[in-house]
């Protein structure tokens, strides 16, 4: 069984967020897909099966299945566009059926754009537990699927040193997303998912479903350029739309590999 490793939201190798991509003829068991994700030890492993002219897509972290993932969707699209003959010259959008609904993906030159749901998290009170987990004092907190913390400047985001044990124990949210206005970019961010056994996700596309509408309102602009400030940084091309967000990025194929058939035994 062949698979691919792609650096998503990257313009050169060893940047962005690596994801494994499996293009399957039929679904493996949930147990086997989870074991593969654990063995890969990447923040996400994407599995997709063709369904007529569309693809059914699922994402697994080492800690479990998730219902939305940006960088692994971008990685899956990159594999189809560059490794599968039927899609190399495809001009119509790719359509992925997921647990978060139907996702459309298209490309413009080297940039792959994801059409994702817009999330509007609700403002909540900051707690002492949150500040202890962050080892910092954000200016505001919001909650949807994940906790979102707003900081005043880029340096606070760069210098953040979270307590992942405390973060994993927070009663609210799956992930912890932090963001601030940028210097060279409209906004910057970092993202943490210790509850899914991923302490820091290098570049998280789905987090921008939260960030884009927030910063569009704050900055009074709908087209923005963002950067995630992990040790593997990534640049995201962002657009705020009526009910959706557009998240774009480049990708690099890092490796092609093969899993031995004994895993089926």
pLDDT tens series, the chain, 265 aa? 889 999 999 999 999 999 999 999 999 999 999 999 999 999 999 999 999 989 999 999 999 999 999 999 999 999 999 998 677 777 789 999 999 999 999 999 899 999 999 999 999 999 999 999 999 999 999 999 999 999 999 999 999 999 999 999 999 999 999 999 999 999 999 999 999 999 999 999 999 999 999 999 999 999 999 999 999 999 999 999 999 999 999 999 999 999 887 666 5
Give whole-number Cα distances, 145 to 114, 119, 122, 193, in Å: 19, 9, 10, 12
In the chain the domains, ranked by start, together with CATH numbers, are 2-115+249-264 (3.10.310.10), 122-240 (3.10.310.10)
Nearest Cα residue to 187 out of 160, 213, 161, 167? 213
Q: What is the 3-state secondary structure (H, E, C) of the chain?
A: CEEEEEEECCCCCCCCEEEEEEEECCCCCHHHHHHHHHHHCCCEEEEEEEECCEEEEEEEECCEEECCCHHHHHHHHHHHHHHCHHHHCCCCCEEEEECCEEEEEEEECCEEEEEEECCCCEEECCCHHHHHHHCCCCCEEEECCCEEEECCCHHHHHCCCCCHHHHHCCCCCCCEEEEEECCCCCEEEEEEEHHHCEEEECCCCCCHHHHHHHHHHHHCCCEEEEEECCCCCEEEEEEECCCEEEEEECEEEEEEEECCHHHHC
Nearest 5 degrees, angle CA 130-CA 72-CA 191?
15
Q: Residue length, the chain?
A: 265
Active site residues: 44
For 117-129, how does the pLDDT look when each residue is reduced to its tens digit (9 = 90+)? 999 999 999 999 9
pLDDT value of residue 90: 75
102, β-bridge pairs: 97
Nearest Cα residue to 192 out of 175, 209, 174? 175
Q: Strands 147-150, 176-181: parallel, antiparallel or unpaired by DSSP?
A: parallel
Nearest Cα residue to 175 out of 152, 154, 205? 205
**pTM given for the model:** 0.91
What gap in Å lies between CA 247 and CA 237, rounded to an integer? 6
For 32-78, how does the pLDDT look when each residue is reduced to its tens digit (9 = 90+)? 999 999 999 999 999 999 999 899 999 999 999 999 999 999 999 99
């Amino acid at each position: 069984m062949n698979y691919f490793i792609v650096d998503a939201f990257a313009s050169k190798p060893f940047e962005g967020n690596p994801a494994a991509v499996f293009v399957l003829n039929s679904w493996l068991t949930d147990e086997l897909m989870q074991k593969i994700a654990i063995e890969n030890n990447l923040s996400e492993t994407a599995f997709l099966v063709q369904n007529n002219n569309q693809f059914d897509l699922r994402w697994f972290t080492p800690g479990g299945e998730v219902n939305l993932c940006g960088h692994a969707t971008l990685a899956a699209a990159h594999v189809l566009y560059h490794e599968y003959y039927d899609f190399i010259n495809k001009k119509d959008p790719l359509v992925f059926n997921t647990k978060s609904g139907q996702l459309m993906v298209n490309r413009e030159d080297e940039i792959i754009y994801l059409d994702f749901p817009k999330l509007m998290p609700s403002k909540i009170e900051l707690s002492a537990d949150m500040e202890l987990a962050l080892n910092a004092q954000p200016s505001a907190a919001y909650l949807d699927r994940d906790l979102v913390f707003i900081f005043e400047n880029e340096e606070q985001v760069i210098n953040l040193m979270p307590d992942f044990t405390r973060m994993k124990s927070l009663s609210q949210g799956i992930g912890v997303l932090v963001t601030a206005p940028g210097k060279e970019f409209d906004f910057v961010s970092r993202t943490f998912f210790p509850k899914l056994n991923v302490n820091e996700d290098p570049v998280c596309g789905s987090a921008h479903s939260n960030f884009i509408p927030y910063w569009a309102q704050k900055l009074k602009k709908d087209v923005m350029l963002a950067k995630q400030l992990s040790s593997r940084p990534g640049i995201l091309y962002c657009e705020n739309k009526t009910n959706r967000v557009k998240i774009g990025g480049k990708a690099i194929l890092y490796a092609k590999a093969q899993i031995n058939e004994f895993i089926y035994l």
